[in-house]
Amino acid sequence: MSTVDSRPAPAAAPPSRVERAAAGTADYLDQRTGIGGAVKEFARKIFPDHWSFLLGEIALYSFVVLLISGTFLTMFFVPSMTEVHYHGPWAAMDGVQMSEAFASTLRLSFEVRGGLLMRQIHHWAALIFMAAIVTHMMRVFFTGAFRKPRELNWLVGFTLMILGLLAGFSGYSLPDDVLSGNGLRIADGVARAIPILGSYISFALFGGEFPGTDLIPRLFTVHILLIPALILALIGLHLLMVVLHKHTQYPGSGRSDKNVVGYPLFPIYVAKAGGFFFVVFAVIALMAATMTINPVWNYGPFDPSIVGAGAQPDWYMLFLEGGLRLMPGQTEFVIGQYTLSLNILVPGVVIPGILFTAIALWPFIEAFATGDKREHHVLDRPRNVPFRTAFGVAFLTAFFVLILAGSNDLIATHFHLSINDITWTFRILLFVGPAIAFWITKRICLSLQRKDRELVLHGHETGRIVRFASGEYIEVHKPLDAHERWLRVQHEANRPLEIEPAEDSRGVRRKGFRVDALRQRLSRVFYEDRVEPVTPAELAAAHSHGAHDALPAAHDEHAGELTGASGGTRHLAADVENTEGTDSTDGPKHP
């Protein structure tokens, strides 16, 4: 026999002074800005949970560390090229003539408490910032996250990468040491190699003949004011577009272009993001405390007559250095009164311009080839887009060859090899390596697609051999479950475009045929080599084993599970979505 407690519930504790102050402040702001609705809507946004999405967060948190450490350094650095004589604790430089910029860098390193640590935190954070941006863009490229409606966001991310390169170059040029001076001398040479305008660009940049007296103050303004402001604005625009377009998600059962499967921003992702920032900051601080980077006191102040052996820029600028080292020197031509220096112009301007233009325009090139105007929120598996994946790997192969070529002197001295042989090897690899990488990657992608077909049609091998009364031996295969099968059949078969004939029935040439023909040829390059996903008819035929169906483990899980595939019918979504709750706007709250 149960009884009901009729005693009144205890009264709630009155709010504390802090709680009342917080509530009053929130109410004040909400009444004047309407921020409450925005916070409520933003806090309910669903974000998918995958480790690769943290790459963008690493870039963001590294930039925050850059701002914090850069603010500290700005208070002590003197952006001046005025010549002074150094007198300080670093005895090797005592009495040496140098610029105020280099002298203040030495003071930061040896006299300001925590100055050297902050310098190294700033430098390591810059390297990680660029590494995170590049790997984040690689993830976006290989998974097709740049497709409609995210083409403009891809351009924003590309611009952030270019600004990061400019920020890094302007930053490590500020100390005015031998290493950074050599880098500026290369930049001056590249600028002068531009036909007709080169000398004017160099004079405007350096305020006269190299090295001039105005460059460090100008770089300082660009580095601490102009570029950070642009990066902050673009980061805000980038995050705004992520919220407006919904977050992309990896393919899986229950996931479609109409939902997002993941966790809400508040409180789960807020807690994760806060903790992850301190993890990133801790790793950068640990690297700065234990690994020396850019010891300018070993290089000395900049002197145009000195070129240090084994001098390389930061990793993200090594590809330019490698291109300059690989280009043959006998490629100068005098046309009229102008010297055309192809040995500098081609690797320093033409090739980077072509590569960066291809990266920026890739979403539009692929959309032109496919003719696809739909929105895409579910990512591609790289194996299902062989040409794109192979092209990306070929591009990275060329990039790594150029990086290694930028260190050819160090490779020669460390491994006791001929620098001429190394240079010629890299020249050959620059053309042969990407082609081989493209072919191998494309073959691997197609092989993985065939493997997926085999698994869907026949299941996993179990090693269990069964003999029938007739004497026939077969291996019993373990069927795929609905989720695993969905992953392997959910993608759509991309095929070359079919276009209308060049002339109509009356023999009149059709308007726009040339553009359509170009699009068709491009689509053949993209999609002529492909493997079609399994269709329901193929699956039903593969699972009709006749007498073999008597085996209990060979067939009982197949009947009626696959309701469709991408070969012209609907997908497996109708069956799989029954296993999870979905939300038509932001999807289920848990994967």
Question: Does 547 lie in the same domain as 515?
Answer: no
Does residue 499 contact residue 516 with C-beta atoms inside 8 Å? yes
Which residues constitute the domain of residue 363? 318-440
- Asked if the structure places residue 423 within a domain, the reply is yes
The model's pTM is: 0.85
Give the pLDDT of residue 562. Answer: 39
Question: Does 580 lie in the same domain as 536?
Answer: yes
122, 124, 181: which is closest to 300 by C-alpha?
181
Give the pLDDT of residue 119. Answer: 95
Question: Does 574 lie in the same domain as 514?
Answer: no
Question: Does 571 lie in the same domain as 490?
Answer: yes
Question: Does 413 lie in the same domain as 506?
Answer: no
Residues 6+ apart with CB under 8 A from 446: 386, 529, 530, 531
In the chain, which residues have pLDDT < 70?
Answer: 1-12, 308-309, 505, 545-591
Give the pLDDT of residue 8. Answer: 63
Q: Residue 525 is which amino acid?
A: V
For 529-554, write each residue's pLDDT tens digit.
888 888 888 878 877 765 555 555 44
For 93-133, write each residue's pLDDT tens digit.
889 999 999 999 999 999 999 999 999 999 999 999 999 99
Q: Where are the beta strands (DSSP E) in 389-479?
A: 460-467, 473-478
Q: Residue 406 is which amino acid?
A: G
- First-to-final CA distance of the chain: 43
- Asked if the structure places residue 466 within a domain, the reply is yes
Stated length of the chain: 591
Question: Does 507 lie in the same domain as 583?
Answer: no
Does residue 117 contact residue 102 with C-beta atoms inside 8 Å? no
Burial 482-495 (b: 16+ CB within 10 A, else e): bebbbbbbbbeebe
Does residue 223 contact residue 74 with C-beta atoms inside 8 Å? no
C-alpha 256, offset from chain centre: 24
Determine phi and psi for 331, rounding to 5 degrees. Answer: -135, 40
Give the pLDDT of residue 305. Answer: 75
- Asked if the structure places residue 536 within a domain, the reply is yes
Pairing, β 460-467 against β 473-478: antiparallel
Alpha-carbon Rg for the chain in angstroms: 31
Question: Does 503 lie in the same domain as 485?
Answer: no
- Asked if the structure places residue 99 within a domain, the reply is no
- Asked if the structure places residue 588 within a domain, the reply is yes
Question: Does 482 lie in the same domain as 584?
Answer: yes
As a whole number of angstroms, the distance between CA 134 and CA 591 comes to 28
- Asked if the structure places residue 224 within a domain, the reply is no
Question: Does 552 lie in the same domain as 562?
Answer: yes
Structure tokens, 278: 């301190």
Question: Does 490 lie in the same domain as 514?
Answer: no
Contacts 24+ apart (CB under 8 A), 386-389: 386/441, 386/442, 386/445, 386/446, 386/449, 386/529, 386/530, 387/442, 387/525, 387/526, 387/527, 387/529, 388/141, 388/142, 388/144, 388/526, 389/142, 389/441, 389/442, 389/445
Question: Does 544 lie in the same domain as 423?
Answer: no
Give the pLDDT of residue 434. Answer: 96
Does residue 453 contact residue 533 with C-beta atoms inside 8 Å? yes
Q: What is the number of domains present in the chain?
A: 3
- Asked if the structure places residue 27 within a domain, the reply is no
- Asked if the structure places residue 560 within a domain, the reply is yes
Burial 567-591 (b: 16+ CB within 10 A, else e): eeeebbbebbbeebebeeebbbeee
Question: Does 503 lie in the same domain as 430?
Answer: no
